[in-house]
Structure 1
Amino acid sequence: MYRIAICEDEPLMAQENETMICRILEARHFRRDIDFTVSSFSTAGPLLTALRNQPASFHLLLLDIRLAQENGVELASYLRESDIGCSIIYITAYTEYMEDAFSTYTLGYFLKPVDEKKLAKVIDWDLRKNYRPEQITLPVNGGLRKVMVQDILYAEAVNHKAAVYLPEEVISVNLSFRALLSHLQGDTFCRCHNSFVVNLKHVHKRTARGLLLDTGAELPISRAYQQETTKRFVTFIQ
């Protein structure tokens, strides 16, 4: 589950940020309280308490700079000094803190009102690079099915829907293949064909014909994906 925190002392702006982040993720087929959560904080104290108790509480922090009694950059600096590695995006009305803000390894510095398309691009990058879900929840006939990500061998487009292959079973998923791809985030998964996405953790080697998995199955690599697939596989095994 992708866990997001918002620290903003203006209630209306906090609500706007929450609505925007939900809209961005739901457009990528994430479902609130199933695939992601959003927690809002009006002051730094409760946020710090949560992070001190569990440093991995949140993957992403949307942070205002001028809070009622705190400075957002100072808060972020403290988090970095404490080895709390959640991604940070500043959302502020002030330009003068930009240089200091980037010293905290921020993903972005957005001025209010936020350009939603630009914010969405930054969140897409964070999902690909930093988000590693342990399990995902997929819609199947009869309800929902939780699947451990590490168990997924590959997924395939089948009759306008998708199938997820596990070591001992195949799950028919009530999602289009394109929608399923949005659930398989991070550097682990690589699209190698119009109809296939593979979990690189289960690739034994690159062959002349495609990708040989540790189960003995072999997936094709289409011409359009050859260069990117080879690059991703080499990077993954290094």
Structure 2
Amino acid sequence: MYRIAICEDEPLMAQENEATLCRVLEAGHFQRDIDFSVSSFSAAEPLLTALRNQPSAFHLLLLDIRLARENGVELANRLREWNVDCSIIYITSYDEYMSGSFATHPLEYLMKPVDEERLEKAIQWDLQKNYRPEQLALPVKGGSRRVEAKDILYAEAVNHKSAVHLPGEEIPVNLSFRELLSLLRGDTFCRCHHSFVVNLEHVLKQTTRGLLLDTEMEIPVSRTYRQEVAKRFVAFMK
């Protein structure tokens, strides 16, 4: 589950930020309390307590800068000193803190009201680089099918829709291939062809024509993706 914290001391703004966040994630076929969770904090201290007890409690933090008793950048610096490595997106009405925020390595520095498109791009980047889903909810005929992400061998485009392949099973999915790609996030999944995305956890080695899986099946790699696949595979094996 993708765990998100919002730290904002203005109740209406906190609600607005939460609603925007949910719209962005639900548009990407994430379901609240199944695929993602949101925890709201109106002050710094409860957030600090939660992260002091469990530094990995959250993947992403949406952080106001001017809190009632705290400066958000100072709070973030404290978290980095504790080796809390959650991604941070600042949301503020003040641009004068921007240069001072760089040391905390934020994903974004957004002015209120939040630009939803910029928030979406930041979240998509974070999901792709820093988040590995444990389960996926796939829309199928008659409802939804949950699968373990680690069990997926590869997925492919099929007649304007797509299919997910598990060991010994093919699951037709009611999504376009582009929509399915938006679900297969993290450094585990790698697009290798205009019609294929592969789970690198199941790749044994690269071949002259493609990628050999641990099922002894070979997935094609097109010329367009060959260089990127080689780089991703080497990085994943490290």
TM-score, length-normalised on structure 2? 0.92
Residue 189 of structure 1, CA deviation: 0.7
Q: Provide Cα deviations, 1:107-158, integer angstroms capped at 9, x if missing partner.
A: 1212222322222222111111111122222233444333222221111222
3-state SS of paired residue (1:138): strand
Q: Residues of 1 paired with 2:236 and 2:83: CA distance?
A: 25
Superposed CA RMSD: 1.8
Separation in structure 2 between the aligned mates of residue 139 and residue 39 of structure 1, nearest angstrom: 27
- 1:7 is matched with 7
Is 2:87 the partner of 1:72?
A: no
Match of 1:136 in 2: 136
> C-alpha distance in 1, partners of 2:39/2:135?
21
Deviations 1:3-59 (A, max 9, x none): 111111111211221122122222222222222222221112222232233322211
- What is the distance in 1 between the residues matched to 2:141 and 2:46? 41
Larger deviation, residues 169-178 vs 212-221: 169-178
Distance 1:118 1:76 in 2: 21
SS in 2 for 1:187: coil
**Which 5+ residue runs of structure 1 have no aligned equivalent?**
none
1:235 offset after TM fit, Å?
2.7
Instruction: Give, as a single letter, the amino acid of the residue that structure 2 aligns with 1:120.
Output: E
Q: Give the aligned partner of residue 41 of structure 1.
A: 41
Q: Aligned letter for 2:134?
A: E
The SS at the match of 2:224 is: helix
Superposed, 1:20-169 pairs within 5 Å as 20-169=20-169
C-alpha separation between the residues in 2 aligned to 1:44 and 1:209?
Answer: 54
Aligned to 2:211: 211
Determine what percentage of the aligned residue pairs are the same residue. Answer: 72
**1:235 and 2:231 equivalent?**
no
**What displacement does 1:233 show?**
2.0
What TM-score comes out, normalization by structure 1 length? 0.92
